[in-house]
Chains A and B, each alone.
Chain A
Amino acid sequence: MDTEQLTGLDDFWRVYETAGHAALLAESLPFGEGRAEQVAAEREALRRAVDGDWSGCEACARALGATYALQGVEPTVWMATVTALARRLTPLLVTEYGGDPARLAAALDAAQAWFDRRLGVITGEYLRARGAQGAESRFRGLLEAAPDAMVIVGSDGRIALVNSQVERVFGYTRDELLGQLIEVLVPERFRARHPEHRDGYFRNSHPRPMGAGLDLYARRRDGSEFAAEISLSPLRTPEGTLVTAAIRDITQRKVTETALKLANRELEAFSYSVAHDLRAPLRGMNGFAQLLLDRYRDKLDAEGQDWLQEILLNARRMGGLIDALLSLARLARSEMRPQRVDLSALARAVAAGLAARDPERDVSLVIADGLHADLDPRLALALLENLLGNAWKFTGHTAAARIEVGAVDADGAPAFFVRDNGAGFDMAFAEHLFGPFQRLHPAKEFPGTGIGLATVQRIVHRHGGRVWAEGRVGEGATFFFTLPSRSAEAAP
């Protein structure tokens, strides 16, 4: 800093100091907080600026900027007050140093530099403070918009922030919770161990459900409890890690789940009783008809024997239906262990099995390479056995039979298909295809239980996929299915 500038600042400061600036500042800065302290600080800062140390001035300016931001004073308003102060000082400088134009010019330059700097710092601080405020208000907005009760906890385990859903769900007011240990929301019997779990999470925090596989409970203000689902996620802030806990009351869901479990058990009991109770009378009818046919054949004429054969045929058919229905029910409740399955290899194995059972058939098989999907391997086998078995059966009366297995793109994900050039079906009946015991062909022509495609649909649906069919009578059918990728679902 050169001598001239120093002189200028010195002169500027003298005017500022001697012209009763406390009153001036008080008048010009109506938004300043703790005005007396503010003035004293300004005066001290200016004195140091004369010595070339602007940090005090900048600190004062920053404090003012923050005050303006905090009080919501619009920039146009506070800029006007700051420039008004500059305008008030200029005539004082002219009066003081008017006799020496060079000295006046230096003092005015110094004043200009001081105000420019000041305005710059205030503006910067104002915008920063408003920005942070904006971010915080946006954050609070998000917190409030969340459907779950949200509790934000510091590493000391104390509640830093809650949303209004917390008040509704837990029955506490916001003020009662802020600063409390989070354990206040934990049922007494779990409280002792909770700080340890909480510390563990702070040490190794990543978004995850709390207490995976456990039934969690939360405690309301009145001491009552509710079944809760809790997701945790860390929030890194300059002040350290905070943890957000999203708490959902799942009482209703638990009730539904219990009802569902009960319904499933009933269904299981029902299929069990079907297995046992329906088959027993069937065995009686079948067995005695057979005995009659074996031991009293010579007492029956051809027609009588034919009728007995019909009884046997129907009993056997009914047995097949009961078995098919039971295996469908078993399929619906069996446990699933999805994994990566090579559908191409599996389709080849299934096709080889079909060809071996039916060596006189000449079917051209086209199976695309590299078809992979995430599903239970046992169910994958049942899926392909049914689809390929179907294609095999319905090309039974087709010359130059052809079965194709492949995949097409359906909205960015593969839709696998099994296509044949067999009997096909009328698209008008497409929706009946997947119903149990629905048949679009006479049993004489294409025998079967009518359970195959229902099985296919159940397998695909259990994996969260879609299944549909396209066909034309006499030209063949194509069955498409999608299986959502597990890796896409598991992405954080």
Chain B
Amino acid sequence: MKPPILLVEDNSSDEKLTLLAFRQHAYGHDVVVLRDGADALDYLFASGPYADRDPAELPAMVLLDLKLPRIGGLEVLRRIRAAERTRFLPVVVLTASREERDVVRSYQLGANAYVRKPLDFTDFVEAARAIGTFWLLLNEPATGQRGAP
């Protein structure tokens, strides 16, 4: 069983579109959807409703929206990078914002990539294909991050 892709997204339309876009380019990985930043952190650190999860089982990558209920995407990113276990977890910021300060802040906090959600669905599918191909196939994750073959 390959580790899942973690999609943190609160907009249900965007969620469906992202799932559709990744349907062909998830390379056998499931997509786990979490709808706010607090849930995402609970999932990753096996706390709260996810207390029975094994915290050593990390997703293959995180697709992280920035504007999220409860805990925002940038804060989620900061806590992911602060924790020893998740320090090298691939995080792709997938957001509507093209604000320079969001881009800069994301990279400062250690995002691996910053992708603006394209308005056009064909472009979105293309973006999903590029992200999936690179982070799930080509990229060599740090030790302990590698998905099962």
B-binding residues in A (CB < 8 A): 272, 275-276, 279-284, 286-288, 290-291, 294, 315-316, 319, 326
Contact = CB atoms under 8 A, between A and B. Distances in A.
Contacts of A275: 96-99
Nearest to A322: B119
Nearest to A281: B13
Interface string B34-77: 00000000000000000000000000000000110000000000
Given A272-B99, A276-B67, A291-B20, A284 B14 contact: yes
B106 to A, nearest CB: 14
A287 B67 contact: no
B13 A280 contact: yes
Nearest to A272: B99
Nearest to B67: A276
Contacts of B66: 276
Contacts of A279: 96, 117, 119
A377 B11 CA distance: 40
A275 to B, nearest CB: 5
B13 A290 contact: no
Among all A-B residue pairs, the 6 with the closest Cβ atoms? A284-B13, A290-B121, A287-B121, A287-B17, A319-B119, A279-B96
B119 A316 contact: yes
B119 A315 contact: yes
B135 interface: no
B100 to A, nearest CB: 8
A276 B96 contact: yes
Contacts of B98: 275, 326
Contacts of B121: 286-287, 290-291, 294
Interface residues of B, number: 19
A291 B124 CA distance: 12
B97 A283 contact: no
A382 to B, nearest CB: 16
Contacts of A288: 13, 17
Nearest to B21: A287
Contacts of B118: 283
B119 A272 contact: no
A320 to B, nearest CB: 9
Given A272-B99, A275-B96, A275-B97, A284 B119 contact: no
B122 interface: yes
Contacts of B117: 279, 283
A132 B105 CA distance: 67
30 contacts: A272-B97, A272-B99, A275-B96, A275-B97, A275-B98, A275-B99, A276-B66, A276-B67, A276-B96, A279-B119, A280-B14, A280-B96, A281-B13, A282-B119, A283-B14, A283-B96, A283-B124, A284-B13, A284-B14, A286-B119, A286-B120, A286-B121, A287-B17, A288-B17, A290-B121, A290-B122, A291-B20, A291-B121, A316-B120, A326-B98
Contact of A283 (B17, B99, B122): B17
A281 B120 CA distance: 12
A317 B96 CA distance: 17
Interface string B114-134: 000111111010000000000
A222 to B, nearest CB: 44
Contacts of B67: 276
Contacts of A290: 120-122
Contacts of A286: 119-121
A326 to B, nearest CB: 8
